[in-house]
Amino acid sequence: MKNFSSLIWKEVHTLTTETPGYLKPDCEHCIGLCCVALPYSKSAYFAVNKESGTPCHNLLSNFQCKIHKELRSKGFRGCAAYECFGAGQKVSQFTYEGKDWRNDAEQANEMFRVFPITQQLHEMLWYLHQALSMEATIPIYDQLQVLYEETEHLTKQSPEYILKINVREHRAKVNELLLRTSELIRAKSLNKKFKKKIQYDLIGAKLNGADLKGASLRGVLLIAADLRNADLRTVDFIGADLRDADLSGANLMGSFFLTQAQINAAKGDRNTKLPNSLSIPLHWKR
Report the alpha-carbon distance of residue 38 to residue 273 in Å, rounded: 32
174-225 pLDDT, tens digit each: 999 999 999 999 987 766 555 456 788 999 999 999 999 999 999 999 999 9
Mean pLDDT, the chain, integer: 91
Terminal CA-CA length for the chain: 47
Report the alpha-carbon distance of residue 11 to residue 107 in Å, rounded: 47
Encoded amino acid at 90, one letter:
K
Q: Grade residue 5 by pLDDT with cuts at 50, 70 and 90.
A: low
31 and 101 in contact (C-beta within 8 Å)?
A: yes
126-152 pLDDT, tens digit each: 999 999 999 999 999 999 999 999 999
215-262 pLDDT, tens digit each: 999 999 999 999 999 999 999 999 999 999 999 999 999 999 999 999
pTM > 0.85: yes or no = yes
User: Any idea of the CA torsion for 69, 72, 77, 81, to the nearest 10 degrees?
Assistant: 40
Alpha helices, DSSP H, located in the chain: 2-12, 33-37, 77-81, 87-89, 105-132, 141-155, 159-163, 167-186, 260-265
Report the alpha-carbon distance of residue 84 to residue 81 in Å, rounded: 10
